[in-house]
Chain A
Amino acid sequence: MHTQDFPQLTSVQVIKDGFESFGYICSDKIATAVYLAFKLRKPVLVEGPPGVGKTELAKTMAQLLDTPLIRLQCYEGLDEAKALYEWKYGKQLLYTQVLKEKLGDLLHGAQGLAESVQRLHQFGDIFYSEEFLEPRPLLKAMQQERGAILLIDEVDKSDYEFESLLLEILSDYQVSIPEIGTIKARSAPMVFLTSNNTREISDALKRRCLHLYIPFPTVELEERIVRSRVPDVDERLRHQLVEFVHSLRQLDLKKVPAISETIDWARSLLLLHTDKLDEELVRMTLNVLLKFEDDIEATDGEIVQLVRQATES
């Protein structure tokens, strides 16, 4: 990937504007991270609370550059056969069975065992060639002609061993397959790793990445996000609902509402044809924002206060 190929990435401001045209409102910091990742050819490790747009960042990036997005969802027990490559065992078995008869013809007239083996050797490792290789997301990302966006989602859910597997790919953009050799990326993909911090990522992996922490956005930024996603919401209501969500985030909740919940809430309020927040309405729609019964109960007593704050500010 070169700068010439992507006029969308020439400067931090251009990136910001580009993202905005796809409805992803980002802070300077996020745009800087994308710019650096592209310039330095480094993967980005994106951390932050759930629902702040970590995965969305990679998706928007793929839209912006019009390149394929290849996504690898991590989970416990993910191994190289599912992430990197696998041999097409079925095809290999089938071919050996089918070709059994051919062997007779081939070896016809061969004198003794040594010569037969000699003849067989001429065919090389047919069954372990790229024909029989089943590329999984990581390898697939390397094989894209025009580069790709590789999204390794929730890397913290995977095992430690899997992290080590990633190291070669992330630092050199290549994969070693014992039977074939090293496969280099045709065009280095842009890699985004996301993590929800359920466990510490190893130092070795962190060292190879740029580290981007996305916190919850400021009121101003979140209002812009809501405006871009739900443009029909009245400006006053938008301000009120964002203020309200922000004060909710200050409370001790099991799961605080994220940006995606703010957007959902804005949509629901729009459907209900409201133009300002009131206590009754909030109580009715609170389950859009809060996903635990405990949280809803804990907030109940505070609603009056919170709504007043949000409507006054």
Chain B
Amino acid sequence: MPESLVSFIQVLRTRDVRISPAETLDATNVLAVLGWSDRARLRDGLGMALAKTPEEEAIFNQCFDQFFARQLADFSDSSENEPAIEEEDSSAGDDPTGVDSDSSRAELPSPLEQAAAADPALQAVVDSPLVQALMNNDSNTLSLAMSKAGERAGLQNIQMFTQKGQFTRRILEAMGEEQLRSAVIELEKANSPAQAQLQRYRDILRQQVRDYVEAQYLLHAEGKTRQFMEEVLSKTRLSNIEHSYLHRVHELVRKMARKLAARHSRKRREYRRGHLDMPRTMRRGVVNDGLMFDVYWRRTRREKPQILAICDVSGSVAAYAKFLLLFLYSLQDVLPRVRSFAFSSHLGEVSDLFEQHPVEKAIELVNWKYGGATDYGTALGDFASLALDDINSNTTVIILGDARNNRGDPRLDILQSIYQRSRQVIWLNPESRIAWGTGDSEMLRYQSACHFAAECNNLKQLERIIDQLLKSTR
């Protein structure tokens, strides 16, 4: 399997294109069938094997162009049986891998050649493939040498922009730039006219390598940096995430929600028809001489699960409420009926806002409408008068709040009656477990009337809890 293809697939994976080993094999087969000769066709073909949605295809096309822009020379080398390179932009028809010696150079010997003729050490430098390639403007040989040196230096592992200088130096070394440099210094000492020419070649080389490293950095590091960011963001306390990262978090929440939705939507459908009701089928068959013409299905009763989310949107918890709601409403395909309530001092139903506005907008409106100082007692009272009658054994109640009641009456009795009527009561508290019950926190008392209470302050925890929720609401 060609190594460049494997590392190309690595790059795609860092950019969220999911590629299984089986698809990697497909891509190899595609390559074997189509060959390297027609670039556009290869791009189409590999795209069909690797990218499976229009979005993935867009990413694929972009990466393909970036990745194979330079590497085409490398490929021709690895397939030894096909020495001919049919690169689109190869200007001259000559064989670019073979470094032809003197033919292409003009009859007039340049100052460099004159100097080289006089000095055997310099002649050796000039005769090296690297300098020859530079002199003949042979970009194929050069980029081939460059990508090989890059591979040896481990350039595909580049992660930070600070590493660029380091990799540039390593590649230059591997390509034999040192010789060139010392030759330039020698010539400078001798004050030779050939110095300028050699100096220029060296500058070209450096520039080329720098460009190459830059391109590779963009290709490899960008995806990795993003993965790293997402990893970090999902573990950071939600209230600590800086405003500038919020849009990333929103994306991340959507991604998580999609994942959960995919995992849980499938199972819901299985139960629709139910199982064969054998006794009944046989009983009905008796009249037909025991032949079971009519079959009966034991239908599973379609339960209508309902979720009531109660969110504290006072200053201290607002950030968390936002993400819980974002999560719940991103899951609307899977979670059948979500009703949401928001409170600080008094409570109100906000489901309508989510129906009328996009999720982000609705959340802002909720914050604006219900923000203030917390009073759990009143809020629970309001909730009871609004929705207590709707709670039955299929209802899951999620409460998000820090349970800090400013020393008011906690009205535990209301929570208890919710607890008794509902299928489950889940309390999510953004404070860490150690802080529960300290100061004016009523968490320990409230906890007694919950089926499940959990600490929830970053996306990872939130995702885990919602996953459980989805499992249990069916």
Contacts and interface: CB of A to CB of B under 8 A. Distances in A.
Nearest to A205: B52
A211 B51 contact: yes
B40 interface: yes
Interface string A31-63: 011011001101011010000000000000000
A160 B269 CA distance: 8
Nearest to A164: B266
Contact of B54 (A159, A202, A213): A213
Contacts of A200: 262
Contact of B33 (A40, A160, A207): A40
Given A160-B266, A200-B262, A42 B26 contact: yes
Given A40-B26, A42-B26, A207-B22, A32 B270 contact: no
A12 B41 CA distance: 9
A161 B52 contact: no
A30 to B, nearest CB: 9
B254 to A, nearest CB: 14
B18 interface: yes
Given A39-B33, A159-B269, A212-B48, A207 B23 contact: yes
A29 interface: yes
A26 B130 CA distance: 46
B225 interface: no
B117 interface: no
Interface in A67-109: 93
A2 interface: no
A146 interface: no
A193 to B, nearest CB: 12
Contact of B48 (A93, A202, A210): A210
A125 interface: no
A92 to B, nearest CB: 10
A207 B54 CA distance: 15
A40 B291 contact: no
A36 B266 contact: no
Contacts of B45: 32-33, 36
B424 to A, nearest CB: 27
Contact of A36 (B22, B34, B291): B34
B33 A36 contact: yes
The listed residue with most A CB atoms (<10 A of its CB), out of B22, B30, B45, B54, is: B45
Interface string A9-36: 0001000000000000000110011011
A206 interface: yes
A159 B48 CA distance: 24
Interface of B is mostly: helix
A93 to B, nearest CB: 7
A280 interface: no
Interface in B98-129: none
A5 interface: no
A28 B269 CA distance: 40
Nearest to B51: A211
A32 B42 CA distance: 9
Interface in B37-65: 40-41, 44-45, 47-49, 51-54, 57
B29 interface: yes
Contact of A32 (B22, B48, B53, B262): B48
Contacts of B23: 207
A28 B41 contact: yes
B41 A32 contact: yes
A200 B52 CA distance: 11
A211 B57 CA distance: 10
B22 A28 contact: no
Contacts of B41: 12, 28, 32
A36 B48 contact: yes
A28 B44 contact: yes
B30 A40 contact: yes
A122 to B, nearest CB: 24
Contact of B269 (A47, A93, A161, A206): A161
Contacts of B18: 203
B269 A33 contact: no
A33 B49 CA distance: 10
B48 A211 contact: yes
Given A161-B270, A200-B262, A29 B33 contact: no
B52 A206 contact: yes
Nearest to B30: A36
A273 B26 CA distance: 52
A216 B446 CA distance: 59
Contacts of B30: 36, 40
B38 to A, nearest CB: 8
Contacts of A36: 30, 33-34, 45, 48-49
Interface of B: 18, 20, 22-23, 26, 29-30, 33-34, 40-41, 44-45, 47-49, 51-54, 57, 262, 266, 269-270, 291
6 closest Cβ pairs, A-B complex: A210-B48, A206-B52, A29-B44, A211-B52, A39-B33, A32-B44
22 contacts: A28-B40, A28-B44, A29-B44, A32-B45, A35-B33, A36-B30, A36-B45, A36-B49, A40-B26, A40-B30, A44-B48, A160-B269, A161-B269, A200-B262, A207-B20, A207-B23, A207-B52, A208-B22, A210-B49, A211-B47, A211-B51, A211-B52
Given A28-B44, A40-B30, A211-B47, 14 more contacts: A12-B41, A28-B40, A32-B48, A33-B48, A36-B30, A36-B49, A39-B29, A40-B26, A44-B48, A93-B291, A203-B18, A210-B26, A210-B48, A212-B48
Interface of A: 12, 28-29, 32-33, 35-36, 39-40, 42, 44-45, 47, 93, 159-161, 200, 202-203, 206-208, 210-213
